[in-house]
Chains A and B, each alone.
Chain A
Amino acid sequence: MSAETPVVQGRNLIRDYHVPGSLTRAARTVRAVKGISFSVDRGKTLAIVGESGSGKSTLARIIALIDPASGGELMIDGKPVDIGKARLTREMRSKVQMVFQNPYGSLNPRQKIGDVLMEPLALNTDTPAAERRRRAEEMLAKVGLPPEVFNRYPHMFSGGQRQRIAIARALMLNPTLLVLDEPVSALDLSVQAQVLNLLADLQAEFNLAYVFISHDLSVVRYIADEVLVMHQGEAVEQGSREAVFAAPRHPYTRELFAATPVTDVASIRARVARRQARRAATA
């Protein structure tokens, strides 16, 4: 048992969605998250991996305090939180922030970048205006954007720059936990590398805990400390990155690994040889 309290802990988290009935169909309940437990320490990254419909984004929204869990317990810094029962305190709201997949959809097109960054401070803290401005400019520098972007609008930025802005906004309240839902999936490979590097730098600087949702195993292998593989709402595999990648135990994890394209020269050579053999056979 480590002396430090984990930043976030989930115990047997459950999420049900109620599908209303119609003339021909009875109402039913869909269990999207079926009892998941995990914990993330300061400065560490938990990657949640799964395909569409696995419940990974539903779980992310519970951890990010956007949706309440239907069952189980969620603890932030050792304190139980249930947004279904009690309003969040400002303090709790500041501790957990989220970055979404689509940087085009997650910024208000009519809000200048400076206002995007200052708004969380205005809403959640009593920081005076001049101080808000100073902190926003500081944060822009930290995510690698020049100060003159302060008065520009989101449409003037590329996808990678917008994702930097979204990350900067998430960090304005000095959170301890960032929930990142597919933050690099919409980005080109070269931009993806820059954003992953930025996330690594920020994690080291602020000792942040990350919950990183992804379907891309090569990204997960690069960034994660712990890995949780979800399939149909269940955690089919959970463990350290090394353990999961070295010896996946669950058949679904193995299927996922086998389906992920590999780019090493030996396997390309083998494929090309197989193809030539088949061609020779038919010719």
Chain B
Amino acid sequence: MALLTIRNLTVRFATSTGSFTAVDGIDVTVDKGEVLAIVGESGSGKSVSMLAAMGLLPDTASVTADEMTFDGHDLLAMTPRQRRRIIGRQITMIFQEPVASLNPSFTTGYQIEEVLRFNAGLSKRQARARALELYRQVGIPEPEEKLRSYPHQMSGGQCQRVMIAMAIATNPRLLIADEPTTALDVTIQKQILDLLMDLQEKTGMALILITHDMGVVAQTADRVQVQYKGRKMEEADVLTLFEAPSHPYTRALLSALPENATGDRLPTVGSFLEPEVQP
């Protein structure tokens, strides 16, 4: 059963030179316990569509959709107050820059306890105990000490673990990870992806992974949605996408991977795509 359903989502930004369409009629569905990868290059609207679903876009954005439901609840019809009961509790999100996502002026422990007190309704004492438990769960070494650490005293990988701990603190049904490993080294990337997949399997939450990296897609996704310039090009299960991509853009992306290079030159997306870009 679909957990999140978005139909015909369009996001326009008012700019000084007129309106700019960042997302143009996109459908997104994710089932319970499913890992969906949304893949695309910059400007594909992959982040904007998820920010729209979360209601996190600035006022300059106009969001329209035929349907936007989460677990049967209509997100479009909700008041902001009702929406906040779902966003941040049942749907949580982590971002690309873990160090920038945390407030530098407070200890990481304070920040996760804040989430637990406001979104999970725990007392201060309960929050502290649960924070420690979460730090252990996401594999932060010396968790007691790290609760008292400020973001700058921790590495990028550790800060992303803190962000993940915060994001799973409320036992969400859906976690949206926007380029969670792009700022990290490959060995750390592997650890973070392993952690996310492990948590996903243990808790049964759904996971939407926004990424530009085909390698990350190959290692994590059940199903993949390819976006280009605000439109959906192709949607397929992960094996089909890599084995028999049907859209020229997907084929172009895959053959532009240096590890798939067959000759001396890399094929570029332009050389594939010129005839037409129709979803």
Contact = CB atoms under 8 A, between A and B. Distances in A.
Interface of A: 51-52, 159, 188-194, 196-197, 200, 215-219, 221-223, 255-256, 258-263, 265, 267-269, 271-272, 275, 278-279, 282
Contacts of A268: 218, 238-239, 242
Nearest to A269: B239
B215 A262 contact: yes
A255 to B, nearest CB: 6
B141 interface: no
Contact of A267 (B41, B190, B218, B266): B218
Interface centre among B256, B261, B266 (most CB of A within 10 A): B266
B129 interface: no
Nearest to A220: B258
Given A261-B215, A261-B216, A263-B242, A188 B42 contact: yes
Interface string B184-198: 011111100000000
A221 B252 CA distance: 20
Interface string B249-279: 0001110111111001111111000000000
A219 B270 CA distance: 19
Contacts, number: 107
A255 B259 CA distance: 18
B142 to A, nearest CB: 20
Given A52-B185, A196-B258, A218-B259, A190 B216 contact: no
Contacts of B260: 263
A263 B185 contact: no
B154 interface: no
B101 interface: no
B242 A193 contact: no
Chain B facing A: main interface SS: helix
Q: When A and B form their complex, which 10 residue pairs have the shortest distance between CB atoms, in order from nearest?
A: A261-B215, A190-B269, A222-B258, A51-B185, A188-B41, A193-B266, A259-B190, A193-B256, A218-B259, A259-B187
B186 A51 contact: yes
B103 interface: no
B213 A261 contact: yes
B266 A197 contact: yes
A51 B187 contact: yes
Interface in B166-208: 185-190, 201
Interface centre among A200, A258, A275 (most CB of B within 10 A): A275
B231 to A, nearest CB: 16
A189 B260 CA distance: 12
A217 B257 CA distance: 11
Given A192-B256, A268-B242, A272-B238, A262 B218 contact: yes
Contacts of A279: 201
A200 B264 contact: yes
B132 to A, nearest CB: 27
Contacts of A265: 239, 242-243
Contacts of A223: 258
A63 to B, nearest CB: 22
A192 B252 CA distance: 13
A263 B266 contact: no
Contact of A197 (B222, B257, B268): B268
B214 interface: yes
B212 interface: yes
B239 A263 contact: no
Contacts of A222: 258-259, 261, 266
7 contacts: A189-B214, A190-B268, A193-B268, A194-B270, A197-B265, A222-B258, A263-B214
A51 B186 CA distance: 8
B182 to A, nearest CB: 10
Contacts of B218: 261-263, 267-268, 271
Given A200-B264, A261-B218, A265-B239, A189 B257 contact: yes
B136 to A, nearest CB: 22
Interface in B99-134: none
A259 B219 contact: no
Interface string B38-70: 000110000000000000000000000000000
A196 B256 CA distance: 10
Contacts of B219: 261-262, 271
A221 B185 contact: no
A219 B213 CA distance: 13
A190 B213 contact: no
Nearest to A54: B185
Contacts of B256: 189-190, 192-193
Nearest to B260: A263
Contacts of A271: 218-219
Nearest to A222: B258
B257 A263 contact: yes
Contacts of B238: 268, 272
Contacts of A256: 186-187
Interface centre among B186, B187, B270 (most CB of A within 10 A): B186
Contacts of B266: 193, 196-197, 222
B78 to A, nearest CB: 33
A215 B186 contact: yes
